[in-house]
């Protein structure tokens, strides 16, 4: 149903609501009003879209950027979490993968810290989670290979496919034993390295990032 426009909150109040700046006492009644007011829902939806565009624009990476000690070298792609770059770590003189996270939240940080504590041959290693201004990033093992979807484009013997499935299952089992639930298992999140290793990546981060965006 449509709300009474005379009782609708101001544009500033709705903007603060979208930005998550209201405490429970103020945000609770406003949330109830928005749920029942078509006009306010449209305004909130538009404000949330603008906010997401601003965050996305401010978090985009550029070749040569420094994020902490890492230097972005080349762009590898873009996913639900954000852009992915190959980067150089001068301290250990190695290449790593850097994922620029569109949404920075304590939940994402907790998830990445939990992943960093997991050490298993079938799970992509997370090295570090950091921030640089408004940009949050995750530094992890750079895997030279293909996603499972890309790997399956070439016809494979059933034994090869079974070996990959078993290896991915071992990685998931290790994660579950450590209290981590993937939440987003799909071919794009299973990597086949050139050396034959199978590694599971993006434990919950992609799904979690989408959840955070939906709340904005």
What residues form DSSP beta bridges with 88? 71, 95
**Residue 184 catalytic?**
yes
| CA end-to-end span of the chain | 23
Q: Minimal CA–CA distance to 62: which of 41, 37, 35, 83?
A: 83
Task: Please state, in angstroms and rounded to a whole number, the distance separating the CA atoms of residues 92 and 89.
Answer: 6
Task: Please state, in angstroms and rounded to a whole number, the distance separating the CA atoms of residues 25 and 62.
Answer: 41
Single out the catalytic residue among 184, 195, 202, 211. Answer: 184
Q: Minimal CA–CA distance to 110: which of 62, 179, 64, 159?
A: 179
φ, ψ dihedrals at 48, nearest 5°: -65, -40
Task: Please state, in angstroms and rounded to a whole number, the distance separating the CA atoms of residues 31 and 114.
Answer: 32
DSSP state of 123: B
Task: Please state, in angstroms and rounded to a whole number, the distance separating the CA atoms of residues 185 and 207.
Answer: 10
**70-78 and 94-101 strand pairing:** unpaired
By annotation, the residues acting in catalysis are: 184
């Amino acid at each position: 149903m449509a709300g009474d426009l005379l009782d609708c909150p101001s544009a500033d109040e709705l903007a603060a609501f979208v930005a998550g700046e209201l405490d429970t006492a103020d945000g609770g009644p406003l949330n109830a009003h928005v749920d029942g007011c078509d006009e306010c829902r449209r305004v909130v939806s538009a404000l949330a879209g603008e906010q997401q565009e601003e965050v996305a624009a401010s978090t985009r990476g550029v070749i040569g950027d420094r994020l902490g000690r890492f230097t972005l070298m080349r762009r590898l792609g873009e996913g639900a979490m954000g852009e992915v770059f190959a980067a150089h770590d001068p301290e250990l003189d190695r290449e790593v993968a850097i994922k620029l996270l569109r949404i920075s939240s304590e939940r994402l940080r907790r998830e990445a810290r939990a992943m960093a504590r997991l050490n298993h041959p079938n799970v992509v290693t997370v090295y570090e989670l950091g921030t640089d201004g408004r940009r949050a990033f995750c530094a992890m093992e750079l895997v030279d290979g293909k996603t499972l979807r890309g790997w399956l484009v070439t016809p494979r013997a059933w034994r090869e496919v079974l070996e990959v499935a078993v290896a991915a299952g071992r990685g998931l089992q290790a994660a579950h034993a450590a209290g981590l639930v993937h939440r987003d298992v799909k071919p794009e999140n299973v990597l086949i390295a050139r050396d034959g290793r199978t590694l599971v990546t993006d434990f919950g981060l992609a799904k979690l990032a989408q959840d955070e965006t939906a709340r904005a």
